[in-house]
Amino acid sequence: MKLKQRMVLLCAVLLLLGLAKIFLLDGGEGSAASRRDLKAFRKMEAGLALARGARLTNTLQSPWEIASQWVGPREVYPEETPELAAVLASLASARVERADVGYKGTQLKALLVLDGGQKVVFKPKRYSRDYVVEGEPYAGYDRHNAEVAAFHLDRVLGFRRAPLVVGRHINLRTEIKPVATEQLLSTFLMQGNNTCFYGKCYYCRESEPACAEGETMEGSLTLWLPDVWPLQKHRHPWGRTYREGKLARWEYDESYCEAVKKMPPYDAGPRLLDVIDTAVFDYLIGNADRHHYESFQDDGGASMLILLDNAKSFGNAALDERSILAPLYQCCMLRVSTWNRLNLLRGGALSSAMRQALAFDPIQPVLTEPHLAALDRRLSGVLATVKQCMEAQGPDNTLIEDRMNLPHP
């Protein structure tokens, strides 16, 4: 066979191998990675629906002890959690022992202690479900329902990096004020027949309180991570400047990712792939406000990027803020497992899974139909972006095998 013919044949074989990899990773079941990820997907589907009013049985442990034992370096809760419904039900109903102003931050929240000493963060309702937040993609108050929806999206995507969240209705007069600190009580006021409070935070103002409907306030409760897992805060490498007319480097330098790859902890370990997973997550929920992020302390870069503070999400269903995906389209890399999961959620499967997951929550409907439709639309945008990377540099350079599983201590 002539050299030219051999070269043509070799190129054809390489092309077929490349197409085969794309096919196997594009929702197919032929590769070991795909079979493994499909099995995990089926487990997620089976555990998606949660029973209301579930209770723990056959255990002397509290729901807080069980949830605490779930936490590890690479997950907040494990793949299989038969007790999840009972833990969330406890979050939604446990007696409030103490109420105080929220911890540091720019947005209104309250720090509550539930029966048994469990700390939780309460974020109050500020908008109706169909309210559209106009302006910058990070504009507006925190959305409590976004915290609930983001937690369940974390479940659906199989990341398992978001703290547990549930919606709850709380009577401010009977459940909060009798156990509130003086600092929190001093921020309570009445507007007509509605009880309100404005708390203490950077943007908290007496003129902009959160108000209950009468005495009952809707909000979200986020389970505080165990104290044995102290957090470390990091500046997000793709953070915004929040200054008009001043761009961050990533906003004008398309080769910015190459610089990030040379900086610890992004030069080794799973952190950069976590950042890219988070970009996908944030794009789906419309969160353009992740200027910092947390990991566990003294982890040497091995800890997961924890998906905390997701409330600046689901503000405008019509806005697909592509800049959120900058880590993905500038680095042009993504975990194989993430790619496989996203493909399994195509064709409306993502919104369908979210409807099923959110139906359990006490404040359902958590999301309106336009927001659920936006999840499917944005997913298509993520898949198209990855395919553009594969066309430009090949699937082997785009899809990264990274299944780092660290044992619990």
The DSSP result for 122-185, as a single string, is EEE--S-TT----SSTT-SS--HHHHHHHHHHHHHHT---S--EEEEEEEIIIIIGGGB-HHHH
Q: Residue 29 above 90 pLDDT?
A: no
Domain spans of the chain?
A: 58-223, 231-400
Q: Report the pLDDT averaged over residues 376-384.
A: 98
Helix, strand, coil in percent for the chain, rounding step 5: 40, 15, 45
Q: Residue 88 above 70 pLDDT?
A: yes
Q: Residue 59 above 90 pLDDT?
A: no
Q: Residue 240 above 70 pLDDT?
A: yes
* H/E element, 210: strand 210-211
Candidate list 26, 289, 361, 376, residue with the active-site label:
289
The first and second tokens of residue 377, run together, are 């639309």
Number of helices (H), then strands (E), belonging to the chain: the values are 13, 12
Share of the chain above pLDDT 70, in %: 90
Q: Residue 119 above 60 pLDDT?
A: yes
Q: Report the pLDDT averaged over residues 142-148.
A: 98
Only one residue has tokens 């805060």, namely 233
Q: Which residues are annotated as a binding site for Mn(2+)?
A: 142, 309
Residue 88 near residue 221 (C-beta atoms within 8 A) = no
Q: How confident is the model at residue 404 (pLDDT cuts 50, 70, 90)?
A: low
The first and second tokens of residue 269, run together, are 């370990």
pLDDT tens per residue, range 251-276: 999 999 999 999 999 998 899 999 99
Q: Which residues are annotated as a binding site?
A: 107, 123, 142, 222-225, 294, 309
Q: Which residues are annotated as a binding site for ATP?
A: 107, 123, 222-225, 294, 309
Q: Residue 37 above 80 pLDDT?
A: yes
pTM strictly above 0.85? yes
Q: Report the pLDDT averaged over residues 397-406.
A: 74
Q: How confident is the model at residue 68 (pLDDT cuts 50, 70, 90)?
A: very high
Confidence at residue 96, expressed as pLDDT on a 0 to 100 scale: 98
Is residue 130 annotated as a catalytic residue, yes or no? no
